[in-house]
Amino acid sequence: MPDKKREQLIVSKSYKKSNELINAMGKGTALSQKLFAIGMQHITVDNTNNVVATIYGPELRKMFKSTSGSLYEHIEALCDRQVKGQTIFDWNLLMKDKENGKIEAHQVVTDASFKDGTLTLRYNNSLTDKIVNLQKNYTVLSLADTLSLKSVYSLRLYEMLKAAYDYKKYLTKEPGEQAFEYDLTELKLELGIITSGGVKEIKNELEKELPDYDKIEALADKNDLNKYKEYKIFNRNVLSKAKEELNKKTSLEVDYEPIKCGRKTAGIRFFVNQKENTIPKDKIPVINKDEVLDELMDLLHEDFKFKEIREIAEAAGYDVEKVKKSYSYMLTYDKTIDVPIAFIKDCIKNEYYSNTAKPMYPKKNTFNSFEQNQDNFEELEKLLLDN
């Protein structure tokens, strides 16, 4: 069989992954996720109840994009921290069962061996029922999608968003775009950007049914356990790159927006669709209401309170240009305005700033607002000459 056909057989498969594993907090490498995906094609359970995954040479070459030479150096980097900082043994999970009041922390891969071009991985036996014989609470993932992704954050988001999308579509029975919200610190914990790092206070907080994520982030910042403290850096280095990679390489179509609390970004709202179920059409841009309010605050704060600015935004359908034009019109008004909020909302509703609308309110005199002389100068000149 030609090599290309073999490669197609390898990547044209799917695999099941427990939603508990997908949504567990913790960290890992992109390669550990890819090895799990490939390993699910050839798994057994040994006499100690450990899941054992066998990954053969052609599959390893596909993953490493290696067409010739020895695989030894690649495997060495996977297993030896002295060769590479992170290894497959750094895949750690923190799983919480709120209903039963349980919390579990696990190292996922416990053993690895490489011989005769074949890699064998042994997984923690505490996770066996979350890896094999899955009957419910799992997500079907594409092996091709997983292997195509380079960033570990793209991989984690792919799994998380695919699981959330499939579950919500199952509940609603409706295809099409779905929306999901994450607390910013909770999202960083699930992506492995924030870790407990052995800090007792963070571990204690995570064990609570309702963790105080603000406290966790403050502790992580204090102990230098938050890789991307500023949202703009997190957005640029993680979210923006992951969105681009997911949209380009996977079956998911992803967009997102920040959820603001005042001026602070408190969470992320994702919009997810399945490409093969999407009929191509012009996309309606998502209005980021928090960003619109921030812009209008800068424009209107001298004349309106925040509550009133929200009312103005809603009256304009969060159309910034409508508000700007109405506000500009208000500033040219020639008389005292008793109720500014009512004035500007009426202006937005009736578009008094428009050239086609009949103005309700007089403007201050400006050079361009003087009434133009409508006399016919040719007729006047003729009358003068006749006299």
Residue 2 binned pLDDT confidence (cut-offs 50, 70, 90): very low
Q: Which of 47-56, 189-198, 304-313, 347-356 has the lowest mean pLDDT?
A: 347-356
- Helix, strand, or coil (residue 355): coil
pLDDT for 83 equals 67
Decide if 62 is inside a domain. yes
CA distance 37 to 30: 11
- Helix, strand, or coil (residue 379): helix
pLDDT for 276 equals 66
The answer on 171 and 75 residing in a single domain is no
The answer on 43 and 158 residing in a single domain is no
Backbone angles phi, psi at 277, to 5 degrees: -100, 5
How much is the average pLDDT of 321-328? 89
Domain that holds residue 327: 289-369
- Two structure tokens written together for 141: 């993932």
pLDDT for 74 equals 81
pLDDT for 121 equals 92
CA distance 73 to 91: 20
CA distance 94 to 198: 13
Strand 102-107 relative to strand 92-97, pairing = antiparallel
How much is the average pLDDT of 107-115? 89
The answer on 98 and 42 residing in a single domain is yes
CA distance 175 to 165: 10
Residue 257 binned pLDDT confidence (cut-offs 50, 70, 90): very high
96, containing H or E segment:
strand 92-97
The answer on 297 and 260 residing in a single domain is no
pLDDT for 11 equals 44
Residue 8 binned pLDDT confidence (cut-offs 50, 70, 90): very low
Q: In the predicted model, is pLDDT for residue 84 greater than 70?
A: no
Decide if 219 is inside a domain. no
How much is the average pLDDT of 147-156? 91
Strand 178-183 relative to strand 264-274, pairing = antiparallel
Taking the mean position of all CA atoms in its chain, how far away is CA 76?
Answer: 33
Residue 233 binned pLDDT confidence (cut-offs 50, 70, 90): very high
Q: Which residues contact 382 (CB under 8 A, 6 or more apart)?
A: none
Q: Which residues contact 226 (CB under 8 A, 6 or more apart)?
A: 188, 193, 194, 217, 220
Residue 333 carries which DSSP code? B
Total domains in the chain come to 3
The last residue of a domain, from among 262, 283, 304: 283
Q: In the predicted model, is pLDDT for residue 107 greater than 90?
A: no
Residue 28 carries which DSSP code? -
349, 315 Cβ separation under 8 angstroms:
yes
pLDDT for 34 equals 87
pLDDT for 153 equals 92
Look up the pTM and report it: 0.63
The answer on 124 and 65 residing in a single domain is yes
The last residue of a domain, from among 283, 299, 326: 283
Look up the CATH number of the domain holding residue 9: 1.10.10.10
Decide if 202 is inside a domain. no
DSSP secondary structure, 118-136, as one string: EEEEEE-GGGGGGTSS--S
Identify which has the larger pLDDT, 1 or 215: 215
Decide if 106 is inside a domain. yes
The answer on 341 and 239 residing in a single domain is no
How much is the average pLDDT of 282-299? 72
Decide if 210 is inside a domain. no
199, 163 Cβ separation under 8 angstroms:
no
Residue 102 carries which DSSP code? E
pLDDT for 379 equals 56
Identify which has the larger pLDDT, 5 or 334: 334
How much is the average pLDDT of 304-319? 89
The answer on 144 and 6 residing in a single domain is yes
The last residue of a domain, from among 283, 300, 322: 283
Beta-bridge partner residues of 268: 182, 258
Residue 360 binned pLDDT confidence (cut-offs 50, 70, 90): low
The answer on 298 and 262 residing in a single domain is no
Q: In the predicted model, is pLDDT for residue 382 greater than 80?
A: no
Among 27-36, 102-111, 261-270, which range has the highest average pLDDT?
261-270
How much is the average pLDDT of 145-160? 91
DSSP secondary structure, 204-236, as one string: HHHTSSS--HHHHHHHHHHTT-BS--SHHHHII
pLDDT for 288 equals 72
The answer on 162 and 25 residing in a single domain is no
The answer on 77 and 136 residing in a single domain is yes
The answer on 172 and 29 residing in a single domain is no
Average pLDDT of the chain is: 80
Q: What is the pLDDT of residues 337-348, one digit of tens each?
A: 888 899 999 888
Closest-CA residue to 184 (of 106, 256, 287): 256
Decide if 211 is inside a domain. no
How much is the average pLDDT of 318-324? 88
The answer on 304 and 274 residing in a single domain is no
pLDDT for 355 equals 61
43, 50 Cβ separation under 8 angstroms:
no
Cα-based distances in Å from 218 to 233, 290, 365: 17, 24, 56
